[in-house]
Amino acid sequence: MSTQEPTSTPNSDAEPKRRLDVTIVIPAYNEENAIEAEIDHIHQVMGATEYSYEIIIVDDHSADRTFEMASNKECRVLRQPRNMGYGAALKRGFRDAKSDLVIITDADGTYPAEDMPRMLAEAGNYDMIVGSRTGANVHIPLIRRPAKWFLRMLASYLAEFMIPDLNSGLRVIRRDHVRRFAHILPSGFSFTTTITLSLLCNEMTVGYVPIDYKKRIGASKIRATDAYRFFILILRVTVLFNPLRVFLPMGLLLFLSGVGKMTFDISQSMSSPNISDGSVMGILGAILIWGLGLLADQNSKLGLDRDRWPD
């Protein structure tokens, strides 16, 4: 099977070459039960606006009929040579987009396409617009909410910005912003978390528009182990862009532990103070961590712009 099999679309190569207003990129993996309805819904919404647009479906080597069903719709369909992950599918879509402005959404029917025009209207005021799942009707399984809350609060602290929704899959962002951070954007589900932290830690603006969130069609691809990966990812991105938010509190914890142990040692033998090795190691460890943090902060300021997508 071909690794790239675009269907014939209204935006085909036979038409005049021009930049579109917006490209809608939809990664899809085993979504045969929802993909056709999702494409039709987006056409219905966007067709009623004045935006020129295209829809790109990136099939992540589905084992079902997702590719065939999407190929019968008015869209471009790209097929990955193997199952490479959500983030890899998005990056493929961004590379092939004919517009500078890109909307990403899911193929499972969870995100409301009717909010896309409202988000596009705000796109000129921010570097990225996120559909925040804080509307009146939000279906998120209760079992996931504690982990999502903890990760969101941790990311908000590290980014120094209160993040209403860390990993929403409905966003409007310029292609150049994704290209700027392409070298650190992962191939898995943490793509959206990474781009959020990358923009916020580099003093770029992110706007949030409240949206509803429906129950997905079909089985979820998220697993319990993904929470640990998100946790490590948040720390990794923050150490890359804003390392002192990690190293300073770690050093402070060790320093306070060392000073506390030293104070206890002195209080136990006032006549001849005996300072323990633990207290000394705590203070020295804090100094070492602070030194590493300063070096990491210096490296983060050297500039991380890399262009991996030559035009």
Look up the CATH number of the domain holding residue 146: 3.90.550.10
Whether residues 215 and 254 fall in one domain: no
Burial class (CB in 10 A: 0-12, 13-18, 19+), 46: buried
> 276-286 pLDDT, tens per residue?
888 899 999 99
125 and 63 belong to one structural domain: yes
Axis crossing angle, helix 191-201 with helix 86-96, rounded to the nearest 10 = 70
For strands 22-28 and 101-104, give the pairing: parallel
The answer as to whether 67 is a domain residue is: yes
The verdict on 90 and 200 lying in the same domain is yes
Token pair of 241 as six digits: 């862009």
What is the mean pLDDT of the segment spanning 244-252?
Answer: 90
Same structural domain for residues 264 and 163?
Answer: no
Classify 169 in phi/psi space as left (phi over 0), alpha (psi -120 to 50) or beta: alpha
Instruction: Give the pLDDT band of residue 217 (cuts 50, 70, 90).
Output: low
Answer whether residue 14 shows pLDDT above 50: no
Q: Could you tell me which residue, 4 or 211, shows the higher pLDDT?
A: 211
Give the CB-side neighbour count of residue 203, counting CA atoms within 13 A: 1
Do residues 147 and 45 share a domain?
Answer: yes
Alpha-carbon dihedral of residues 219, 9, 13, 27, nearest 10 degrees? -10
93/7: higher pLDDT: 93
Residues 167 and 283 in one domain: no
51 and 24 Cβ atoms separated by less than 8 Å: no
Q: Are residues 270 and 189 in the same domain?
A: no
Instruction: Tell me whether residue 1 is in a domain.
Output: no
Q: Structure tokens of 254?
A: 């060790």
Report residue 12's pLDDT band, with 50, 70 and 90 as the boundaries. very low
Both 249 and 152 in one domain: the answer is no
Mean pLDDT check: name the lowest of 95-109, 150-164, 218-232, 269-283.
218-232
Name the residue range of residue 288's domain: 244-300
Instruction: Categorize the per-residue pLDDT at 306 as very low, low, confident or very high, splitting at 50, 70 and 90.
Output: very low
23, 55, 101 from 51: Cα distances, Å: 10, 12, 11
For residue 164, tell me if it sits in a domain: yes
Q: Are residues 98 and 185 in the same domain?
A: yes
- Give the closest residue to 175 by CA, choosing from 60, 11, 25, 2: 25
Written as six digits, the tokens of 281 are: 């190691």
Tens-digit pLDDT profile for residues 43-83: 999 999 999 999 999 999 999 999 999 999 999 999 999 99
Residue 220 lies in a domain: yes
**From CA 280, how far away is CA 259, in angstroms rounded?**
8
User: In angstroms, rounded to a whole number, what is the distance separating the alpha carbons of residues 266 and 279?
Assistant: 11
Judgement on whether residues 57 and 95 belong to the same structural domain of the protein: yes
Boundary of a domain, candidates 216, 241, 266: 241
Contacts of 82 (CB under 8 A, 6+ apart): 61
Q: How many domains does the chain have?
A: 2
Q: Which residues contact 278 (CB under 8 A, 6 or more apart)?
A: 258, 261
Instruction: Tell the burial category of 219 from Cβ atoms under 10 Å away from its Cβ (0-12, 13-18, 19+).
Output: exposed
147 and 158, same structural domain? yes
pTM of the full predicted structure? 0.76
48 and 125 assigned to the same domain: yes
Examine residue 165 and state whether it is found in any structural domain, yes or no: yes
Nearest Cα residue to 85 out of 111, 60, 120: 60
Residue 119: per-residue pLDDT: 96
Asked if residue 74 lies in contact with residue 10, where contact means CB atoms within 8 angstroms, the answer is yes
Q: Cα separation of 154 and 233, whole Å?
A: 11
Averaged pLDDT of the chain: 85
Domain boundary among 194, 216, 241: 241
Question: Is residue 3 included in any domain, yes or no?
Answer: no
Question: Which residue from 117, 135, 10, 4 is spatially nearest to 73, judged by alpha carbons?
Answer: 10
218 in a structural domain: yes
Domain boundary among 193, 225, 241: 241
Does 310 map to a domain?
no
